[in-house]
Structure 1
């Protein structure tokens, strides 16, 4: 109980609201390695990036063939897989910089590209999990209009979360409670887009004046309720990500990493 109280006291310090961390190495070392090489995580991140990029390209191509490519940007799912790709790309950039420089110096704070990656990670992972949960809980049983291709459907609503889970489990950097505003800020941007799209006369591919049937602004009461419920769900998922990162770090420190014996092979 004392350890939990100490952890929470530390988590709710004002500085934890910002993208600052004393150990830059945590952003390019893998939780599954016992040495200090940046190569293992670099290779993992390249695979994840290629997977995310493949999903985005397949989604764009198949959407354009099945309906009209102009509708691709209206869905949160597609925002999510694009965010996954950006996050994985920035993760690769961090690892490449660490490999090229022999490490990353955070004496005067984390470099901007590390902060950009961390922000994208904090947003992409919870949003990916949210998209998977929301789709399979509320949308998948509503008909085929959300499933252009069954295989693609699995990749953009399921494998997206698998890739982000891999990114989460192989990282060493922390996930902080006070960073909940970062996934919320991205979804807030999407919410504003959705409202503007509705009042501008936008429709879905079937001509309906909504993007998702659960958020139909012709009936603002239920739509607003769904927005607040979704925001609460994203915050809960963010807290779950924090717990997963804590379990990951505990397992890694107990069974894989040992500060007394870690080598410094590059």
Structure 2
């Protein structure tokens, strides 16, 4: 009957509308969840794998490891070791205090340890790569991106950002001419550390990604926790004060927390600047390679063999 159909169609249409709305909301929620997961997953991905693992064992100007680069890597390691020895035994200081037990409490010395570790890992990777190259049929693109490369990449990025952060923070906020002397040791531990990382960044092929901005602040948080524990345990600095740095005074917790937040933000900015510098490095090397690549193509089109075999060995 017509009346029965109309009475029955109303609830049925209303029920179908609720079902359609619930399905639509469910789909929207699912799309939103997947979108957020993909966005933050890609942005905060720890295990971001670069295109090739070869970047961690070869210089930027060549796709092979030559003797000069192997010697360069061991030279960098020796320089980091020399700086640490001078820092521990206060060689080059005009006013040595001789408090060896206080050496591990300073963030500067944590940065020196990181520099030594990452330079040692670089020596291991480059030495292994040079041995692989001696094997017939070696292909650098087939190198495996393993745990050693991942750990080296993490240490390298953290050391680079932390070195610049330590240098700028020390000379801007910590250095007191009445207490600290601008001697050889001070220059080594608060200037040479950043210079080593900047030079190394220009020579190596280690990638820098913006998504890794949180690696260095994550590591520094461990030092901040250590400073709190050290303060609660009654620890003193080399001058007998109940703090490690004048800007890290937990007797003024609010001010110190604000300074820590600003310092962590500054490390993020430092990492972004290093990423820009790394991209500028890549752009410069790519521009230098283009003339060599074009010359090789022209010679090949003329039916002649090029005078070199590798197109990206432009700074041999």
Verify same fold: TM over 0.5.
yes
In structure 2, distance between residues paired with 1:109 and 1:21: 11
Provide TM-score, normalisation by structure 1: 0.86
Structure 2 unaligned spans of 5+:
1-38, 297-308
The 1:105/1:68 distance shift into structure 2, 3 A limit, reads: same
Provide TM-score, normalisation by structure 2: 0.73
Partner of 2:147: 112
Partner of 1:45: 73
Q: 1:127 is matched with which residue: 162, 166, 170?
A: 162
The 1:27/1:11 distance shift into structure 2, 3 A limit, reads: farther
In structure 1, distance between residues paired with 2:140 and 2:310: 20
Residues 176 and 242, structure 1, Cα contact 8 Å, conserved in 2:
yes
1:36, CA displacement in angstroms? 2.3
Residues 108 and 190, structure 2, Cα contact 8 Å, conserved in 1:
yes
The 1:44/1:12 distance shift into structure 2, 3 A limit, reads: farther
Residues 83 and 124, structure 1, Cα contact 8 Å, conserved in 2:
yes
In structure 1, distance between residues paired with 2:164 and 2:86: 20
Q: 1:24 is matched with which residue: 53, 74, 77?
A: 53
Residues 26 and 173, structure 1, Cα contact 8 Å, conserved in 2:
yes
In structure 2, distance between residues paired with 1:28 and 1:232: 31
Residues 65 and 126, structure 2, Cα contact 8 Å, conserved in 1:
no
| Structure 1 counterpart SS, 2:156 | helix
Partner of 1:251: 284
In structure 2, distance between residues paired with 1:128 and 1:94: 22
Structure 1 unaligned spans of 5+:
1-9
Residues 11 and 178, structure 1, Cα contact 8 Å, conserved in 2:
no
1:157, CA displacement in angstroms? 0.2
Partner of 1:143: 177
Let me know the Cα RMSD of the aligned residues.
Answer: 2.8
Partner of 1:190: 223
